[in-house]
Chain A
Amino acid sequence: MFLKLLAIAALLLFVGLITVCNRSPLVTLQPKVPNLPDKHSNEPILPIPAEVSLDPAKVALGERLFNDPQLSHDNTVSCAICHSLNKGGTDQRKFSTGIGNQTGKINAPTVFNSSLNFKQFWDGRAENLEAQIDGPTHATDEMGSNWEEITRKLSQSPQYQTEFASIYDVGIRAETIKDAIASFERSLITPNSRFDQFLRGNQDAITTEEKEGYQTFKSVGCISCHQGVNIGGNFFAQLGVLGDYFKDRGNVTKTDLGRFNVTHKEKDKYVFKVPSLRNVSKTYPYFHDGSAKSLEDAVAVMSKYQLGRELSQQEIDSIVKFLRTLDGEYKRYPR
C-alpha cells in the first residue's frame, strides 16, 4: 500500500516537473523607468508640478505632529512655531526662538517646497527631509528633545497609538514619526504662482513690468544661481564671490562658515545652499543671517557680493516686481 502511494506521488511529481521545466525562462518584464523632466525647456525656471502623490493618512498624521509641541523637550515648541504656514513657511524673524526662550543662530528657511531642494539646511547637511527632522528636534536651542523622549510622550496618547497603528505596523517609532512629518512636508508645495501660470503659457498671468523684471533677473545674472523648478535649492554657492560679504558685515560666527562645518574643506568656507526664491516676498528677513529686511535690500546685497555689479534702483525695483509673482498657492492635502 505504501509503495503504491509512493509510486503515485512520484508520478505526480514527475508530471509536475516536466510541466514546470518546459516553462519558458524568457519572461519579458516591462521596466519601470522614471520620466525625467524635459531638460530642453526654453526657460531656466520650471513650474512646480500641480500634483504630488502622497498617502493622505500619513499627511494628516504628519500635520498633527508638525503642530505638536510635544516634540520639544518642554512641550512649548512645535515645528509650526518656526515654520508657520501663514508666514510663508517661516516665522518671519531674524532668528527663531527655541525652548527656554533661547535664540537660534541661523535664519529659519521656509518649509514650503522644501521637498524640491536637493539637500536640506543652509549647509546641506541633511540629504532628505527625514534626516532634516533630526536637526531641530535635537538642537538644544531649538526643540531640545530626543526620540526616546518624543516616542514616550506620543505613546501616552491613545489617539496617536491608534493612528500610528493604522498606518505603520511598528507603531510609534522615530522612523515612523519622521516618515509622517516628511510626508506632510512633501505636501507643502505651492504650485500655480502667477509666474508658473506664465511659464505654462498664460501670457496675461504677469504684467509687462513683471515680464521686464524677469528679463532683468536673467540678464543681470541672478538666473545663474536661482534656476530650476525651485528657483534655487539645487547647488551650493559661496556667499561673497565678488566681494567680501563677511568682512563688510563683520562679527563672523561659526555658523557663517556654512558648508565648511560639514565637509571641513577650505573650499567650502562661507558656502551655503542657494535658497529657493519661491514665495520669497513672505520669507523675510533674508539670508542665513537674516540681515536683509526687505527684498530690495536682499537684491542689492546679492548683486553686489554675488554678481559683482551695482544695480540701479530701477533694476532692483524691476527684479522685485518679478520676485513677487513667485507667490504660489498652498492647497491642503494636494493629490
Chain B
Amino acid sequence: MRIRLQQFIVGVGMILLMTFLFVKTNVIESAAHYRFSLNLRRMKELDSKLAKDILESRYGLITAYDSLITEVSELDKLCAELKNVPDFLEHDEQEKIGQLLDQFKALQSQKEQLIEQFKSRNAVINNSLRYFPFATSKLTQKIPVNNPKHDEVNNLLRDVLTYYLVTDTELEPTIANRIELLRKYEPEKLSDLHNADLNIMISHANTILKLKPEVDDLVKQIVTLPTAEKLEEIIGFYNSYYNESVNQTDRYRLLLYVVSVLMLAYIGFIIVRLKKAKIALNVINESLEQRVMSRTADLEESNKELQGEIAERLRLQLEAEGISEVIQGVTTTSNLDELLAVIHQSIRKILDADNCYVSLFDPKTELLNMQFFVDKYDSVPPPSKLGTGLTAYVFRTEVPELITTEVIHHLTRSGEVEVVGTIPAVWLGVPLRTPNGVIGVLVVQHYENADAYDQRDLGFLSSIGDQIALAIERKRAEELQRQGEEQLQIFNQKLQQSNRELQDFAFVASHDLQEPLRKVQAFSDRLKTKYAANLEGEGLDYLERMRSAASRMQLLIQDLLSFSRVSTKAQPFAPVNLETVAREVLSDLEVKIEETGATVELIDLPTVDADPLQMRQLMQNLIGNALKFQQKETAPVISIHTQPTTSNGQIQISFTDNGIGFDEKYTDKIFAVFQRLHGRNEYEGSGVGLAICRKIVERHNGTITAHSIPNQGATFTVTLPIKQANAEN
C-alpha cells in the first residue's frame, strides 16, 4: 500500500511539474505582445505627426485644427489602452512600464494645454497678420504721400512684417517706438474715421508684436517636450523585458523536454512491470477460478438439499390441505359426483396424473362402476364385472399398489391380471376402506413418466383413500336419506291429489244422484196419489217404505253434498262476530228451543277471521246436536263460552251440554262421515253433522275435540286462530 501511495505521489507530481512547465512555456501571449508593441509604434507615429501638424498650422500650411484634435484624442486613447501591460511581464516590469506611461501622460497633458493655447493664439495672430497690411494700406491711402506719417505707417508695416519673419526680438523696441509716434500723431489733423483706422492698425500691430514671441515660444515648447523620447524609453524597456521573457520561456521549454523524456522512460518502465504483473495475476486468477468453481458446486448441492426440504414441507402442507379439502367436500358438495370432482382436484394438486378414477363396487349388481373417471386418452368404460383388471386386483387384495409397466407385464404374464385400455407407465391404486369393508378403488396413472409416483405418493394416496372412503360413505348415507325424503314428498303429493279427486267425486256424485232420486220420489208420490186406493195394506206399506227410503236417501245426499261443499263452496275468510252468528242460529232454532225448554248461555264469544256461512253451519250443527241428544225428561242446558288462551293467537270455544253424552272410546268415530252411535230410530240424522264440523274447523286451521261421560253430557271444544293468514279485511 505504501509503495502504491509513493507511486501515486510521484505520478501526480510529475504531471503537476509538466503542467507547470507547460504553462510557463506558454506565458507569452503573442497577441498581447503584438498589440502592445504596435500601439507603442503607433503612438510614436502620432506624436511625430502631431508635431508636424503643429508646425504646419503655425506656417499656415493647414488651416483646420481637426487633425490636431484627432491626433491628440488618438494618443489619449492609445495611452489608456497601453495601461493594460501584457501579463507575461514580471510585476515590477509592469509597474515600470506603468510609471513610464504615467510620465508620458503627464507630458502629453502638458502638451495638450500648450496646443490649446497655441490654437487660440495662432488663430488670432494669423488673422492679424492677414489683415495688418490691409489696415496699413487703408490708412496710407487716406494720408497724403508727402506727409511724413505716410512713411511712418509704411515703416511700421515693414518693421512688423520683418519682426514676424525673423527669430529674434531686436525690432520690438523700434516697433513700439513707431507705434508711440503714430499715437502722438495729431489727431485733429485726421478725421474720426481715420483715427479709428489708425487704432485698428495699431491694435493689429500690437497683437502681432505680442503674440509672435508667444506663439513661437509655444511651438518651441510643444516640439521640445520630450514625449518622443519618453515613448522611445518605454519601447526600449518593453523590448528588453519582452526579450527577457522569451529567454525565460525558452529555458522552461528545454526543462520541459528533459522532463518529458524522463517521463517517457518512466512510462516504459511501468509498462514492462505491468506486463510482468499481469502474467503473475493470470496464474493467480486460474487457481482462484478453480476454487470458486468447487465452492460453487458445494453450494449448489446444499442448495438442492434445501430445495428438497422446502418441497417436502410444501408437499406435506399440500397433502394436509388435500385431506382437509376432501373432508370439507363432504359438507360443501351436494352429491357424490361433486364430491368426487373435489377429490380429483385435490389429488391433482399434489400428483400429476394422466388418468384418475374412482371405481366403486356395487354389492347388489356385483359390478365395478366407474363412479368418476378423468383420462387423457380413454373414454369412460362401462360398468364391468369384478374381473381380473388391476382395479379388481387391488379391490380383492385390499392392499395399495404402485405398479410400473414391467410389473404389469409380469402380472399379465402370470395371469393374475388382465389390462384393459391404454397401458400406463405407472399405475397407482389404493383400496377405499370403510369399517364395513372395501367399497372401491382410487386410481391415478401416468402414461409417459414412469417416475411420476413413488412410495411416498402411495402412502399419501392410501391415507387420502381412507378419508375418501369415509366421505363416500357419508355422502351415500346422505343421499339415501334425501331419496327417502323425496319419496315421502311424492307420496304426499299423490295423496293430496287423490283426496282432491275424491272430493270432486263426492260432490259430483251427490249432485248427480239427486236427479234420479227426485224422479223416484215424484213417481212414488204420484203412485200414492193416483193408486193408493188401489193398493192393499201390504202394497201400501211397501210404497211407504220406498218413499221413506227415498227421503232418507235425499237427506243423505244433501248432507253429503253439504259436507263436500265445505271445500268446494268455500268462501274467503273475513272477520266474523261469533256471538252474532250464535244469536242468529239460536233464533233459527227458536221453535226447537221452546219445544224442549232449553236454556242456552253465550259467554264472551269473540270475533275471528272465518268463513261466515261455515261458522253459522258449525254453530248450527253443534247447538243442534246439543238440543237433539238430550236426556229424556230433562230440559237441556247449553253453555257456549270462550276460554281465553294467549298462546298462538288462538281461542277455544267450548260447547257444553247436559245431554246423553257418549263413550269416549267412540271419540274418533263420531267425527267420521255417516258414522252414528245411535240407531236411526232413536235420533234422526245422517251422521254427517260432526264430520262437517271437523272439516270446517280444519279448513280454518283449527281443531275440534270432544269429551264426554255417558249420560252426563258432552263438551265439544273448537280451537280457532283469531287471525287467518289470507283473511280479507
Contacts and interface: CB of A to CB of B under 8 A. Distances in A.
Given A25-B30, A33-B42, A309-B200, A7 B67 contact: no
Interface in B107-156: 116-117, 119-120, 123-124, 126-128, 130-131, 134-135
Nearest to A128: B73
B11 A310 contact: no
Given A224-B123, A224-B127, A307-B127, A21 B25 contact: yes
Given A14-B264, A118-B69, A3 B120 contact: no
Contacts of B67: 36-37, 39
Contact of A7 (B25, B68, B119, B267): B267
B123 A242 contact: no
Contact of B119 (A2, A25, A37, A236): A236
Nearest to A227: B64
Contacts of A44: 62-64
B38 A17 contact: no
Contact of B128 (A41, A118, A223, A308): A308
Contact of B253 (A21, A27, A242): A21
Contacts, number: 156
A20 B256 CA distance: 12
Interface in B1-48: 4, 7-8, 11, 14-15, 18-19, 22, 25-26, 28, 30-31, 34-35, 38, 42
B66 A229 contact: yes
B119 A34 contact: no
Which one of B25, B64, B117, B200 has the highest number of Cβ atoms from chain A below 10 Å of its Cβ? B64
B11 to A, nearest CB: 4
A26 B135 CA distance: 65
B70 interface: yes
Given A18-B260, A224-B127, A308-B207, A39 B62 contact: yes
30 contacts: A2-B8, A3-B270, A6-B15, A7-B270, A10-B266, A11-B264, A14-B263, A14-B264, A20-B22, A21-B253, A21-B256, A25-B28, A29-B35, A31-B34, A33-B42, A36-B67, A46-B66, A118-B73, A220-B131, A221-B127, A221-B130, A221-B131, A224-B123, A224-B126, A235-B119, A236-B119, A238-B120, A242-B128, A308-B128, A310-B196
A309 B127 CA distance: 10
Contacts of B203: 242-243, 308
Nearest to B132: A308
A234 B256 contact: no
A308 B204 contact: yes
A46 B120 contact: no
Nearest to B119: A235
Task: Kindly list the 7 A-B residue pairs having the minimum CB-CB distance in the complex, ordered from nearest.
Answer: A44-B63, A235-B119, A228-B66, A221-B127, A228-B64, A39-B67, A6-B11
A266 to B, nearest CB: 12
Interface in A29-66: 29, 31, 33-34, 36-37, 39-41, 44-46
Interface of A: 2-4, 6-7, 9-11, 13-14, 17-18, 20-21, 25-29, 31, 33-34, 36-37, 39-41, 44-46, 118, 220-221, 223-225, 227-229, 234-238, 241-243, 267, 271, 306-310
Contacts of A227: 63-66
Contacts of B19: 13
Contacts of B56: 39
Contacts of A3: 7, 11, 270, 274
Contact of B116 (A20, A34, A235, A309): A235
Given A3-B270, A10-B11, A13-B15, A235 B123 contact: yes
Contacts of A6: 8, 11, 15, 270
B207 A241 contact: yes
Max count, chain A CB within 10 A of own CB: residue among B42, B56, B65, B74: B65
Contacts of A309: 131, 134-135, 200
Interface in B351-380: none
Contacts of A40: 62
A242 B207 contact: yes
B513 interface: no
B22 A17 contact: yes
A26 to B, nearest CB: 7
A226 to B, nearest CB: 10
B53 interface: yes
B120 A234 contact: no
Contacts of A223: 63
A246 to B, nearest CB: 17
A312 to B, nearest CB: 12
A17 B259 CA distance: 11
Given A39-B62, A224-B63, A235-B65, 7 more contacts: A2-B4, A2-B7, A6-B15, A21-B256, A44-B62, A45-B64, A234-B66
A34 B39 CA distance: 12
B271 interface: yes
Interface in B491-525: none
Given A20-B22, A27-B31, A307 B64 contact: no
Contacts of B260: 14, 17-18
Nearest to A235: B119
A18 B25 CA distance: 11
Contacts of A39: 53, 56, 62, 64, 66-67
A236 B8 CA distance: 74
Contacts of A17: 18, 22, 256, 260
A236 B63 contact: no
B64 A242 contact: no
A11 B267 contact: yes
Nearest to A11: B267
B192 to A, nearest CB: 12
Contacts of A31: 34-35, 38, 42
A234 B42 contact: no
A100 to B, nearest CB: 37
A227 B64 CA distance: 5
A216 to B, nearest CB: 13
A267 B65 CA distance: 20
A220 B19 CA distance: 74
Nearest to A234: B65
